[in-house]
Amino acid sequence: MKSLSQLPTDPAFVQNPYSFYERARALGDLVYWDDYTHICATSYAAVNHFLRDKNWGREIPSEFVEPIPTRIQPFMNIEEHSMLELDPPRHTKLRNSVLRSFTSTRIKSLKPDIEILANNLIDCFDNTPDLLPAFCTPIPITIIARLIGAPESDAPLLLDWSHKMVTMYQASRTSADEDTAASASADFAAYLTDLQTERMKRPQQDLLSALLTVSATKLSGPELTSTCILLLNAGHEATVHALANATKTFLETGTKPTDTSIEETLRYDPPLHLFERHAKSDVEAFGYRFKRGDTVACLLASANRDPANFLAPETFQPERTRNTHFSFGQGIHFCLGAPLARLELQIALKTLFKRCPNMRLIEQPSYTNSYHFHGLAALKVSI
């Protein structure tokens, strides 16, 4: 296997990781990224394989799990019951419990709410808004809070806890970040326990009340708390960045949002680029013999630009129809919120461009210095 170098914290790389991906793919389906100390799947075929193959999972085999420092235990208490971190059978149980309540009818019923919210936010724009705080951030958190049944007035609190928790996925995190993430996890869990008690007394037409009904037979208290936190965090972090990255692409290319072009923004500049899988047994793939416990980092955004699967992959093609990208993952962990994310993107972006037909970028937007969340720090436009 060939290796290549690239500091994951290098600002130029974080701004544009796509040229690194091109270099990586040229070296093979699998490469060793030495600064990141990981074997990476770079091609469409390889990413597809590791996300789907049953020999690979999210759980690190027990004999390789390192002891967890007690100070980050509150964060691990949430991770330990998160479907995103689990393999079957626990993954299947948790995912099915949510799917029972996360129906397409329930999702579609949110359409008018998203439209009203988008219009209300646009009504409040000044002449040169920063679309990140003014539009992209409030929509996903308000909608997911409403869906779960957390009071919308708590949105700033939920955003704060979520931002603190996701620093745990960053290559550049410090031990102070870890402490902050742990205390945010404890506060978030306590908040949800209170909300569960409240909903047990007075059930509402929300997902939490529906999950509590399921939980009477299936989910433990910690599983329910962890599931709600996952939905709240996953439900907005990626969608905020997907909204902003898509708006940037439309403005830079002078194109407009349609269902097809929005899907192309997800392929072209997705918010999440890397997810890991661990070998459950000794297994061979792409000419390499892996040992149980080995880790492969699946580079979703690299696979999205593999010329073996996409015509002119480096070009944004708003009419692209054959577009089986990996931005929502693949296999058993395929994004559970993809229908909701697509609905939010379609309604919010179409409303924004319809209401603001002369919108222009007034400064070159730059990405935050986190590789794990490929999202903009600001998106200043004139209306």
CB of 179 to ligand HEM, least distance (A): 26
Q: Which stretch binds ligand HEM (CB under 6 A): 60-68, 70-78, 153-161, 332-340?
A: 332-340
Q: Which is nearer to ligand HEM, 212 or 230 (CB)?
A: 230
Which among 74, 94, 75, 98 has a CA at the least distance from the CA of 83?
Answer: 94
Question: Is residue 95 within the footprint of ligand HEM (CB under 6 A)?
Answer: yes
Question: Is residue 84 within the footprint of ligand HEM (CB under 6 A)?
Answer: yes
Applying CB under 6 A, what is the total number of residues that bind ligand HEM?
A: 25
Question: Is residue 129 within the footprint of ligand HEM (CB under 6 A)?
Answer: no
Question: Is residue 239 within the footprint of ligand HEM (CB under 6 A)?
Answer: yes
DSSP string, 158-188: HHHHHHHHHGGG-TT--HHHHHHHHHHHHHH
Q: Which of 17, 235, 257, 375 binds ligand HEM (CB under 6 A)?
A: 235
CB of 96 to ligand HEM, least distance (A): 10
Q: Which of 20, 328, 367, 371 binds ligand HEM (CB under 6 A)?
A: 328
CB of 201 to ligand HEM, least distance (A): 25
Question: Is residue 349 within the footprint of ligand HEM (CB under 6 A)?
Answer: no
DSSP three-state, residue 80: coil
User: Is the CB of residue 207 less than 8 Å from the CB of residue 102?
Assistant: yes
Distances (CA, A) of 356 to 14, 41, 120, 127, 137: 30, 41, 13, 11, 18
Q: Which is nearer to ligand HEM, 219 or 231 (CB)?
A: 231
How many Cβ atoms are within 10 Å of 120's Cβ, its own excluded?
11
Q: Which is nearer to ligand HEM, 94 or 381 (CB)?
A: 94
Question: Is residue 305 within the footprint of ligand HEM (CB under 6 A)?
Answer: no
Which among 376, 333, 381, 382 has a CA at the least distance from the CA of 14?
Answer: 376
Token pair for residue 157? Answer: 């609190």
Site for ligand HEM in 134-163 (CB under 6 A): 144
DSSP three-state, residue 272: coil
Residues in the chain: 383
Whole-angstrom Cα distance, residue 297 to residue 278?
9
How many Cβ atoms are within 10 Å of 322's Cβ, its own excluded?
7
The residue number whose beta carbon is nearest to ligand HEM equals 337
Whole-angstrom Cα distance, residue 113 to residue 17?
36
Question: Is residue 347 within the footprint of ligand HEM (CB under 6 A)?
Answer: no
Site for ligand HEM in 169-228 (CB under 6 A): none
User: Is the CB of residue 44 less than 8 Å from the CB of residue 159?
Assistant: no
CB of 190 to ligand HEM, least distance (A): 22
Contact footprint for ligand HEM (CB under 6 A) = 51, 83-84, 95, 144, 230-231, 234-235, 238-239, 242, 270-272, 275, 327-329, 333, 335-337, 340-341
